[in-house]
Amino acid sequence: MIAFLGPSGTYTEQAAKFFASLLAEDEASIRSYSSISRVFDAVERGEAESAAVPIENSLEGSVLVTLDRLAAAPLCIVAEVALPIRHAIFGLVGTDETQVRQVLSHPQALAQCRQTLFEFVPLAEHVDVDSTAEAVDRVAKQGDRTKVCVGSVAAGRAAGLQLLRMDAQDIAENTTRFVLVAKESRKLNVMRMHKSDVHKTSLLLQLGDDHPGALYDVLKVFAKDELNLSRLESRPTKKGLGSYQFYIDVLGVKDDLIVSQAVQDISMIQGFSVRNLGSYPCFVECK
């Protein structure tokens, strides 16, 4: 069973359904949870075999709660899919946008539509909720025409709301990467229903001994081996100001000799620790 950020109608549910199509029949059911943290908890407790979570958006960057939980949890990434995100603004039938005073959605969705919302409903307060689907549900149930929501077209129409604005994202090319995570000890049966030409290996790099040129020592290993990095991002370790860890995505799989040797070379650098967060196929869904 695949856990995902719910309720039904979220973009993460779309990703979960895609991942379900990759798996054996007994692993293909999906179940919603109210937050990304609870999704991770479900896998760690054994309630779910795996979980679909958003990890990065092309407009607003990384989903920080996902990065932080990956660093803390004994889980690894087993697949990735990039989905195009087309936000829409919905309200109750008869809503007058000039009277709107609140717009509800997930913080990432609100950020991705910031300029559009400023122009369309300039007097509206932005209200954060746990998911775009929850925002749609609240507007549908509260019966208040001064409130609108940002969510998917499917969710808004299913709730019987009126479409007020299509393609509300500020930039047309809006894509979110979702990953499927599972316990390291679990080998998921990924079927060959979808072809992937891209594979990544994700690493978590922690500096035990911070010194001038420390990160350079790592990067020059990748440069020497001509490995392409698709992401390099720092996050606080939560151990004090100035203490950071680094997330690195390398194109290639850990079984590749060059990738394997690079990881080994980095682990030999004094003061560093490297954790493999997964080596996995990457897919792109077009709509």
For 58, the token pair is: 């092309």
Give the Å distances, CA to CA, from 147 to 48, 118, 166, 232, 268. 35, 15, 17, 39, 56
| 181-208 per-position pLDDT tens digit | 998 756 565 554 456 778 999 999 887 6
* Tens digits of residue pLDDT in 99-119: 999 999 999 999 999 999 999
Nearest-CA neighbor of 120 among 164, 86, 87, 160? 164
Q: What is the CATH architecture assignment of 198-278?
A: 2-Layer Sandwich (3.30)
| pLDDT tens, residue by residue, 70-92 | 998 899 999 999 999 999 999 99
- Where is 32: in which H helix or E strand? strand 30-33
Which residue ranges does the chain devote to CATH 3.30.70.260?
198-278
pLDDT tens digit sequence for 262-278 = 888 888 877 778 899 99
Q: Indicate the pairing of strand 2-5 with strand 30-33.
A: parallel
Q: What is d(CA 196, CA 156) in angstroms, rounded to the nearest whole number?
A: 32
Q: Residue 204 belongs to what H/E stretch? A: strand 198-207
Tokens of 189: 């049966």
Tell me the fold of 88-166. Answer: D-Maltodextrin-Binding Protein; domain 2 (3.40.190)
If you average pLDDT over residues 1-20, what whole number do you get?
90
- Cβ-based neighbours of 257, under 8 Å, separated by 6 or more: none
Closest CA relative to residue 14, chosen from 26, 32, 1, 27:
32
- Give the three-state DSSP class for 263: helix
Residue 166: predicted pLDDT: 95
Measured in degrees and rounded to the nearest 5, phi and psi for residue 262 equal -65, -45
Q: Where in the chain is the domain with CATH 3.40.190.10?
A: 2-85+174-183, 88-166
Q: Residue 76 and residue 182: Cα distance in Å, rounded?
A: 6
Angle in degrees, CA 170, 155, 119, rounded to 5: 25
Query: What percentage of the chain exceeds 70 in pLDDT?
Result: 91
| Average pLDDT value over all residues in the chain | 88
Q: Which pTM does this prediction carry? A: 0.85
The CATH code of the domain at 2-85+174-183 is 3.40.190.10
Q: Is the pLDDT of residue 49 over 80?
A: yes
Indicate the pairing of strand 162-166 with strand 125-128: unpaired
